[in-house]
Structure 1
């Protein structure tokens, strides 16, 4: 009789709980986070479960939240950094250090709400999460994109052509889209950088949120340019 390691059994149980191995599930959410249905009221529930309170914080590059933290992200007033936050008054963005669904820990979760409804669930990805997605949603579409990037070694006076790769594993259903994205690119010193993320969105809602974000960003940029021109009138 062959013994199965306990860790493998736990992983199998977690994946089975999150997925339906025989048939694919409708792409409507991850656990209790339902795209197009869950409202901002879930934040109050999360706060009650974790204790503490929501901390409003200006967004900044490489921001990460501690495991039980909940941040409400607002644009930086100094740098105007808005990679994930938004100036749109109809949009709210929260960053959770970690959520657990069916025993699977999902880290650095962004919840993007538009008009009080969840438009996108975005997080770091992992091998465990990727496998669960395949089991739950069925066979995906895989799109691999490559791009040649010329890397110049200044000190050596040589050039090398590196290949940047983006692999997008995605599922689509009734206006919802889930995607597991993995990327390899290079920094200015020609060192490889690997990054990845998972996103589940209601495309119509997310598109409206993006349009609103752009419109308000354009307004702010125009006001700043106008103020600069006014200051230069006597120049």
Structure 2
């Protein structure tokens, strides 16, 4: 009887261990999947602005640098609302391309932001095709709380796609891969430099306090 009970305990313990191992394997598999470093040759914190001409040639696309409009910025009194504004920060560079095709998936209205020489953000229009491609490669990133948003995380790199459930609002759909901290640093640099320009213009116009 004792031997039977002992055998039963051993079997149950073994089953529990197997269950735990299976759960760990699933967890590790999911963790291994969710390691988005970028899109194609555009790797966050790895791709450099010096590599962009060669990447453009390889992809057969044309990138244009986005330069900030000083007059428009002064009139609105603020910067950093849209990536399409460019940046006043000397350490930041923004480039755009109308369309890029990577692994058969089209990315429209692409914006690349570089800070201190390396890529910190890839942003484009969001489409179901992009979401499907990411899901097939990295697993589902769907959120139960916000069904319109899918996200994937890899340490300090966040990948997000927003697809509106209302077709009338599809113009706001977007896809982005960003470093978690550096876009904020670039934004603060942009604002700081803009404030200096605005102060200099106000001083030149004879009103040092205007627009401050």
Q: How does the TM-score come out when normalised to structure 1?
A: 0.63
Check the 8 A contact 1:178/1:199 in 2, yes or no.
yes
Unmatched 5+ stretches in structure 2: 1-28, 74-78
Q: In 2, Cα distance between the equivalents of 1:183 and 1:228?
A: 46
Match of 2:155 in 1: 174
Shift of 1:141: 4.9
2:101 is matched with which residue?
100
Per-residue deviation, residues 193-224 of structure 1 (Å, max 9, x unmatched): 43211000111222211121121122223333
Instruction: Give 1:130's aligned residue.
Output: 131
Structure showing the higher helix proportion among its residues:
2
Shift of 1:180: 0.5
Listed as ranges, the gaps of 5+ residues in structure 1 are 1-19, 52-67, 145-165, 186-191
Q: Residue 181 of structure 2 corresponds to which residue in structure 1?
A: 204
For 2:185 and 2:54, how far apart are their aligned partners in 1?
26
The residue number in structure 2 matching 1:223 is 200
72, 77, 100: which one aligns with 1:79: 72
Distance 2:119 2:64 in 1: 16
2:178 and 2:129 mapped to 1: Cα distance?
Answer: 20
- Answer whether contact 2:107 2:125 (CA < 8 A) is retained: yes
Counterparts of 1:220 and 1:24 in 2: how far apart (Å)? Answer: 45
Residues 153-164 of structure 1 mapped to structure 2, 5 A cutoff: none
TM-score between the two structures when normalised by the length of structure 2: 0.69
What's the offset of the Cα at 1:46? 3.4
- Post-superposition Cα deviations, 1:41-81, rounded to whole Å, max 9, x if no partner, equal 23211343467xxxxxxxxxxxxxxxx43210000133127
Hey, what's the Cα distance between the residues in 2 that align with 1:76 and 1:141?
Answer: 37
Q: Secondary structure at the match of 2:207?
A: helix
* Cα distance in 1 between the residues matched to 2:156 and 2:55: 27
Q: 2:54 — aligned with what?
A: 45
Task: Give distance in 2, aligned partners of 1:125 and 1:24.
Answer: 21
Q: Distance in 2 between matches of 1:231 and 1:112?
A: 33
SS in 2 for 1:230: coil
Instruction: Flag as ranges the 4+ runs of structure 1 deviating above 4 A.
Output: none
Larger radius of gyration: 2
Contact 1:180 1:197 in 2 (8 A): yes
Q: Cα distance, 1:26 vs. partner?
A: 1.0
Residues 130/215 of structure 1: CA separation in 2 closer, same or farther (3 Å cut): same
